[in-house]
Structure 1
Amino acid sequence: MTPSELDSPRVPPSRRAVLAALGALGAAVGAPALAQFRVEISGVGATQIPIAIGRFRDEKLGNQPIGEIVRADLERSGQFRAIEAPGVLDEGSLPVMSEWKGKNVDALAVGSVSRLADGRFDVRHKLWDVVKGADLGGQAYAVPAADLRLAAHRVADAIYEKLTGDKGVFSTRIAYVVRAGRSYSLRVTDADGEGGQVALSSPEPIISPAWSPNGRELAYVSFETQKAVVWVQDISSGARRKVADFRGSNSAPAWSPDGSQLAVTLSREGGSQLHLMSRSGGDVRRLTSSSAIDTEPVFAPDGRIYFVSDRGGSPQIYRMSASGGSPERVTFAGSYNISPAISPDGRAMAYITRQGGAFKLMLMDLADGGSPRALTDTSDDESPSFAPNGKLLIYATRSGGRDVLMTTTLDGRIKTRLLSSGADVREPTWGPFGR
């Protein structure tokens, strides 16, 4: 893995940046622009629950289309085929089940929005099992106007969990980098790409964002001082601190499962090697000692570290104990495999492989050593990240000459495109539960 090889024009530009030992990113000047998204969903799942979701009664009071948000969330999961319910029903309605059965609906979700005396909004929903004619219950959320979208996502989470048994991820957050002209910004948004905040704006590149396990902080690499430096930033307050600003390159931060440590790639001793440090940047300990480029570390739930190295002659994924020791090679198919992401249960690994001149998102079963399979038909995929329930992946790719964000189900059948207006979006990372 040589700098000239990885800095080839065929390599996705932000992936060159993530491998910061190569120094591929240059300076840029300009003001940040905010990305606004809409959602496009494509594909058909093997089995989907047909669910009718109507407009929430009086949802216009809060200027948020609660029913539409819930419907889009559930469709994006790949588990549901959403059907728009005509008219307006609410949680106090008693639907005629025979009518809904005649429309081939298995479940029905209804709700309402009302304004409380203190100015907040009361969002309520109820879920019905149409097949059994059973009331599956509902919930109420009292929220300020600014949290109406979040309330809609929580409604979708509740419906998803009730009907699938798995925890929903619609009320979680994602972080990603926006490049607009010659400016960069790090954004934090809802899982559907809407709303959110700008965590950092800079005329210099920002790369490799990584969520802390508690969802309160982001680690990332900023070139604002004309070199790669690792920072950690509190999402709520905006306060941030340098944790790696050593001689040479400081890159690719990854949090340990308990949030007490960071794995980083440092070149302070001359070559790009893995190091472990405390979350404050102290107690730095070198993990690898090779003549190769070792980079892109990521922790598995069991505490082991997966990383990319060219020690075997080409970029491949390895794993090792966080206490050190001999690395074990994980990928063998293909001559170029980078950017590992480990599922929350530790059973699967997503990564990027190069096939000819194309970069493809792959999924590999770590539990049984099954053959990797491609999840996409695009050719510039990068930066995969698992949803915290392990049921979806978010990644970046190129479409229509733009860098865009996509989500996909693990079988590759259902994909969602988050389209930005006039900006390139890249390097997504999915935050944990517990918002």
Structure 2
Amino acid sequence: MSTPVALRAPSWRRRAVLSALGATACAPALAQFRVEISGVGATQIPLAIGRFRDEKLGGQPISEIVRADLERSGLFRASEAPGALDEGSTPVMNEWKGRNVDALVAGSVSRLADGRFDVRHKLWDVVKGEDLGGQAFAVQALDLRLAAHRVADAVYERLTGEKGVFSTRIAYVTRAAGRYTLRVTDADGEGGQVALASPEPIISPAWSPNGRELAYVSFETRKAVVWVQDISSGARRKVADFRGTNSAPAWSPDGSQLAVTLSREGGSQLHLISRNGGEPRRLTTSSAIDTEPVFTPDGSRIYFVSDRGGGPQIYRMGAGGGSPERVTFNGSYNISPAISPDGRSMAYVTRQGGGFKLMLMDLGSGDSRALTDSTDDESPSFAPNGRLIIYATRGGGRDLLMTTTLDGRIKTRLLSSGLDVREPAWGPFGR
């Protein structure tokens, strides 16, 4: 049985998508990435992480995963704590102060009688000399990486007061040897599963608000059709299969409907359609191409891309339609809006001197600034806590994924093993 692809939208898409795909069930995926972190944050908490006692039992480097997660946030300067430490230790705080450490993490891994693994950790505030407590997770061997991400989340939240995103998931598309694969993985690009595989391109995965489904577009019938797929079971359903193209799905915040781009009346226009399909309701009526819709977090507005002014620019309007208001004015080519979870910022891609750069706009003031020095950026997507952005770009002759902090200071490169990687989408909290 052949299966889907995902399409992003009409004629401004810089990479042609001409095909369809053959789907597979949600099979396990081998780890594809290692992480490189570059840049220096303005203020970083110096944090020492001890190697978890007996962490080799489960075959996962728990402490290294925790350290990489926290460094990726840009808020921590992490180092390995020497010596034998675990959650039962009583560290001498003055010694750690002398090593210029503000916080200390240690833990252990043990095998339970039922075959699961018990992962424990403890966090200390070295500056205040306080025991900040810890947690324990009993998990199957396959979930040891997830347990490590949850440790990182707990440390991050205890020290910053905000939720961590390390145990969330991302979706992205890889290409190798003429084959395309839609993957769902941990936020660091490791582990996870194959949601879809095909000899034809796959693009534009979009997470449902509850994190259980992905919307995408398939060309398997030689035309673009919007599908929604259950991540756990692999079951899928057609949502939009009308005359012309059906593309650019974006979920409403309550998950009840999707905004899509349809050309069934002749031009590419925005429509709303139920999560289960049915008759769509048209939102825009213009002679332009209107595409790449995205809802604001409160569901009151839709941002989208249109060439109604002569070139592609970003506009917004009420979620039920109405008169669009132009948002971007700098430059002649601005696409791919992504709205931060707090609704205050917009990431997007602009063309500058023949290259394409990731930008961040303060929606209150309208001020924008570049976050990257690269020239082939695409597909920005915010982490659910709004503190990081994942995006696609190109380097070393490869398509690859990066994350960046909102000030652009700390960037993480997810390096694939000979694969081109595009189309990232960061999933919501919870899994």
- Equivalence map 1:66-105=2 (5 Å): 66-105=62-101
Equivalent residue in structure 1 for 2:175, among 179, 186, 199: 179
Contact persistence 1:35–1:420 (CA under 8 A): no
Q: Which amino acid in 2 is paired with 1:19? A: A
Identity percentage of aligned residues: 85
Change (3 A) 1:272 1:73: same
TM superposition shift of 1:28: 8.0
Deviations 1:47-106 (A, max 9, x none): 000000011000011010000000000000000000111123100000111110000000
When the two structures are superposed, what TM-score results if normalisation uses the length of structure 1? 0.94
When the two structures are superposed, what TM-score results if normalisation uses the length of structure 2? 0.95
Deviations 1:10-65 (A, max 9, x none): xxxx99x5223579323489999966100000000000000000110000110100
SS at match of 1:359: strand
Alignment of 1:262 with 2:258, yes or no, is yes
Deviations 1:259-298 (A, max 9, x none): 0010000001100000001100124100000000000000
Contact persistence 1:28–1:183 (CA under 8 A): no
Question: How far, CA to CA, are the matches of 1:185 and 1:139 in structure 2?
Answer: 36
Contact persistence 2:206–2:249 (CA under 8 A): yes
- Matching residue of 1:202: 198
Q: Which amino acid in 2 is paired with 1:25? A: V
Alignment of 1:405 with 2:395, yes or no, is no
- Of stretches 226-235 and 381-390 in structure 1, the one that deviates more from structure 2 is 226-235
Contact persistence 1:30–1:181 (CA under 8 A): no
Change (3 A) 1:391 1:22: closer
Question: How far, CA to CA, are the matches of 2:336 and 2:114 in structure 1?
Answer: 48
Equivalent residue in structure 2 for 1:362, among 355, 359, 362: 359
Change (3 A) 1:342 1:29: closer
Alignment of 1:338 with 2:335, yes or no, is yes
- Equivalence map 1:127-142=2 (5 Å): 127-142=123-138
- Matching residue of 2:238: 242
SS at match of 2:181: strand
Alignment of 1:26 with 2:18, yes or no, is yes
- Equivalence map 1:20-59=2 (5 Å): 20=10, 24-27=16-19, 36-59=32-55
Contact persistence 1:35–1:423 (CA under 8 A): no
Question: How far, CA to CA, are the matches of 2:317 and 2:84 in structure 1?
Answer: 56
Question: How far, CA to CA, are the matches of 2:30 and 2:109 in structure 1?
Answer: 29
Question: How far, CA to CA, are the matches of 2:164 and 2:23 in structure 1?
Answer: 36
Alignment of 1:118 with 2:110, yes or no, is no
Equivalent residue in structure 2 for 1:277, among 266, 273, 281: 273
Equivalent residue in structure 2 for 1:315, among 294, 312, 316: 312
- Matching residue of 1:9: none
SS at match of 1:88: coil
Contact persistence 1:126–1:137 (CA under 8 A): yes
Contact persistence 1:45–1:78 (CA under 8 A): yes
Q: Which amino acid in 2 is paired with 1:64? A: Q
Contact persistence 1:30–1:182 (CA under 8 A): no
Q: Which amino acid in 2 is paired with 1:328? A: E
Equivalent residue in structure 2 for 1:416, among 397, 408, 412: 412
Q: Which amino acid in 1 is paired with 2:319? A: A
Contact persistence 1:21–1:249 (CA under 8 A): no
TM superposition shift of 1:249: 0.6
Contact persistence 1:35–1:178 (CA under 8 A): no
Q: How many residues align structurally?
A: 420
Gaps of 5+ in 2: none
RMSD, matched Cα: 1.7
Question: How far, CA to CA, are the matches of 2:37 and 2:329 in structure 1?
Answer: 33
SS at match of 1:361: strand
Equivalent residue in structure 2 for 1:160, among 145, 149, 156: 156
Deviations 1:301-322 (A, max 9, x none): 1221000000011100000111
Question: How far, CA to CA, are the matches of 1:188 and 1:383 in structure 2?
Answer: 16
Gaps of 5+ in 1: 1-13
